[in-house]
Structure 1
């Protein structure tokens, strides 16, 4: 199991829409997340503009699973919608499906169980 954490900025005008769509995530997206070996996925909002996400990857080929995620048309539709609500901290980022990664990966410096 590998843990991931990442950040992205939310456009102030999109706060309510972002919270609403994540209160009703499409079943196809939830199923693809599960099928791609991602568990314990959470997104936190700091009430200003930063979103912080964390999840556990329990598979053995992260790149292949992420390629399967990206290949799903419903996931890509979801990304188009949610990317429009966000601003990436990654220079040159285009979106979740292409270019440099949309979310900024974070280095884990401490963990305890």
Structure 2
């Protein structure tokens, strides 16, 4: 299993942040989006928020790749519709690449990491 940590900002507007939270409450997301996530090899996904900063943890199959996930998403009209809707709320981090939403985070500490 692979594990990834990613970050993204939301537009710093309390009304939009509440709407974004509501879209992500259990039962409010689109089932096609959940299916596309699982079909890409994502086993578990958690999103946390503080203020307007989001933090995502993804646990995936060993053969998961972001390139393949992007290819599948581009071919899925419902995913493209969802992503367009979410852009209303999302704000790329200042150091994000062109058209990049979620930015990979670097692990800088792990409590139980064995000495090398």
Query: For this structure pair, what is the TM-score category when the shorter chain's length is used for normalisation?
Result: 0.7 to 0.9
Q: Which runs of 5+ in 2 are unaligned?
A: none
8 A contact 1:28–1:74 mirrored in 2: yes
Which structure carries more helix by proportion? 1
5+ unaligned residues in a row in structure 1: which ranges? 94-98
Does residue 20 (structure 1) correspond to residue 18 (structure 2)? The answer is no
Deviation at 1:109, TM superposition (A): 2.8
TM-score between both structures, scaled by the size of structure 2: 0.80
Larger radius of gyration: 2
Count matched residues: 107
Deviates more, 1:30-39 or 1:64-73: 64-73
1:75 correspondence with 2:74: no
Q: How does 1:9-48 map to 2 (within 5 A)?
A: 9-13=9-13, 14-23=16-25, 24-46=28-50, 48=51
Is 2:104 aligned against 1:105?
yes
Instruction: Give me the TM-score of the superposition, normalised by structure 1.
Output: 0.82
